[in-house]
Amino acid sequence: MTAEMSGLRHEALLHRGTSDFLAEAVPFVLGGLERGEAVLACLGPSRLGPLREALGSAARDVSFADVQELGALIPTWRDFLAAHPGQPVRGVGEAACPGRRAPPSLADCRRHESLLNAVFGGWGRPWHLLCPYDLDTLDDDLIDMIFRTHPHVREDGRSAGNNLCTPNVAVRVVTTGTLATVRGFVAGFAVHAGLKPVRVDDLALAVGELANNSLRHAGGSGVVRIWAEPGRVLCEVSDFGQIADPLDAGRRAPSSDVEDGRGLWIVRQVCDDVEISSSPAGTVVRVQMALAPQ
């Protein structure tokens, strides 16, 4: 293994059709077997059957999983890693499988691919995950998601680093009726990042208040971004609203007879740091929580 393979190497495979997929996936799998790696192919039927057949007798040394039969994919990868302690791992897996019983949305795919980076980026074990995407079936939004969430991209037999990737960032759009979903999204990411339970609750509360402000005061929508950095979890809520005095916003305890103004005050009470940037172009509120020392 190379030095860069001390943790997850998360790579998108851009291909056209089944034959192109097999031309890349078969040598990828065989290369892992030759190196003594444990290999899991977690794919939909349109790729799973052809890959198994193309591998021939080598298929008996590969684990296969049909994504149509799975729920969340991240636990599948975690369980596979746990089942092979001390052994390098190689995987081929797709989040956007057309035949899944509950086909994932673009947001679901983005969250899945982003969480893979956040959960396994610091795993400390070498494993290489190849995520196939058929260019003949992709729209511009999905292509953008792929480049935003994969640190490496493989196409036409060549693999290269991807400068467009923001690997630790997960994104959720806030609209009417999604506040509970947003809180759960933030809490799930924070748990995987290692934030302690009480701090997870505080962060979910804070982001919920910010998202509610976006719904009430900024045209009814906003965007939540959350990511992990060494020693901390950060989250941004952005919208098209404007705060008159961002430096003072939320710094004074609101009067008991005033309904507005509580959200930002609550956010400042529960978060370790709060930064507010606001102009006629919109508002971004960034909050952060420190991770407890290991």
Q: How confident is the model at residue 5 (pLDDT cuts 50, 70, 90)?
A: very low
- Percentage of the chain beyond pLDDT 90 is 41
Q: Which residues does 245 contact at the CB level (< 8 Å), separation at least 6?
A: none
Task: Examine the pLDDT at 201 and tell me if it is beyond 50.
Answer: yes
Residue range 109-122: mean pLDDT, rounded: 72
Task: Examine the pLDDT at 132 and tell me if it is beyond 60.
Answer: yes
Strand partners, 120: none
Query: Quick one: which of 226, 201, 208, 241 has its CA closest to 288?
Result: 226
Task: Examine the pLDDT at 256 and tell me if it is beyond 70.
Answer: no
pLDDT at res. 4: 41
* CA-to-CA dists, residue 184 to 181, 224, 236, angstroms: 5, 12, 15
Residue range 89-112: mean pLDDT, rounded: 70
Domains observed in the chain: 3-161 (3.40.50.300), 170-290 (3.30.565.10)
Bigger pLDDT: 280 or 59?
A: 59
What pLDDT, in 10s, does the model give residues 24-71?
999 999 999 999 999 999 998 889 999 999 999 999 999 999 988 876
* CA-to-CA dists, residue 186 to 80, 172, 199, 221, 263, angstroms: 25, 9, 11, 17, 17
Q: How confident is the model at residue 255 (pLDDT cuts 50, 70, 90)?
A: low
Bigger pLDDT: 91 or 193?
A: 91
Task: Examine the pLDDT at 196 and tell me if it is beyond 70.
Answer: yes
pLDDT at res. 288: 95
CA–CA separation, 257 vs 264, rounded Å? Answer: 17
Task: Examine the pLDDT at 6 and tell me if it is beyond 60.
Answer: no
pLDDT at res. 207: 95
Other C-beta atoms lying within 10 Å of the C-beta of residue 124: 9
Q: How confident is the model at residue 253 (pLDDT cuts 50, 70, 90)?
A: low
Q: How confident is the model at residue 12 (pLDDT cuts 50, 70, 90)?
A: very high
pLDDT at res. 1: 33
pLDDT at res. 72: 66
Q: Which of 121-135, 186-200, 205-219 has the lowest mean pLDDT?
A: 121-135
Residue range 93-113: mean pLDDT, rounded: 66
Task: Examine the pLDDT at 92 and tell me if it is beyond 70.
Answer: yes
pLDDT at res. 117: 76
Residue range 193-200: mean pLDDT, rounded: 92
* CA-to-CA dists, residue 159 to 3, 12, 13, 37, 130, angstroms: 16, 9, 9, 20, 11
Q: How confident is the model at residue 149 (pLDDT cuts 50, 70, 90)?
A: confident
